[in-house]
Amino acid sequence: MAQVQGDAAAQVTVAILDDHRLIRDALRDLLEKAGIEVVATAGDVETFLGRIASAAPTVVLVDLMLEDSGGLNLEGGLNALRELRKYHEYTRPIVVSSVQDPAVVQQCMDEGAWAYLDKHSIDPGAVLAMVQSVARGERAVSLGDLRGRPAPTAPVEGTGNSLLNSLTMREREVLSYVAGGADNLKIASMLDITERTVKAHISALYRKLGSENRTQLALLARQLGVRPPNHT
């Protein structure tokens, strides 16, 4: 496997939160062989947050499904994301999870995740590429995995700019409401246009952005930096 060379690797540090020791060790080994320093690992949120307090990692890999006194659930990983966003705002989390529910993915992104990878379908190269991408300030989610078949990663910032530039101002407005979960009737009301016109704009968005349904469109909108209007 090709290593990450030069200053790019030296400037990236990573911490790993996963309650399976074998996975933590495998990720550490993968990253260190690529020349990326792993500054902390832990299997529970409290220990993890304590270990990264002074380490200030560039990127953290967060297992979403963590086991606690209530069993295996999402709250551990989501709580980790909340704490990172609150107390470690310069650290960029990547969720690595087998959960493929788009609503859960969106929740993770809303809680501060920079990227989301399906644990069961990624390969080592994908992990390294995503760590480097997020370290550069790019955001991404593996939408193809959520559809159950291979597909390219959702566009990150550089590509995203060209995608947004392909949209008309009205299409961007409609996309912002879709990102907020508004239905066609509400969008029509807020923009003072007909519902039929809204449908036409959404069809154009599907075509231009390569999305197949409204959930994918909303997820991609978030990844492109499109945010819902404050009054939605």
CATH of residue 180's domain is: 1.10.10.10
| pLDDT value, residue 214 | 81
Domain count, the chain: 2
Q: Are residues 92 and 110 in the same domain?
A: yes
> Global pTM?
0.60
User: Which domain, by its residues, includes 165?
Assistant: 158-223
Instruction: Identify the sign of the CA torsion 51, 55, 61, 62.
Output: positive
d(CA 49, CA 42): 9
- SS3 for 40-100 is EEECCHHHHHHHHCCCCCCEEEEECCEEECCEEECHHHHHHHHHHHHHCCCCEEEEEECCC
pLDDT in tens, 23-43: 888 889 989 999 999 999 999
Name the amino acid, one letter, at 160.
Answer: G
| pLDDT value, residue 57 | 94
Tell me, yes or no, whether 1 lies in a domain. no
Residues composing the chain: 232
d(CA 18, CA 1): 24
Q: Are residues 211 and 103 in the same domain?
A: no
Tell me, yes or no, whether 229 lies in a domain. no
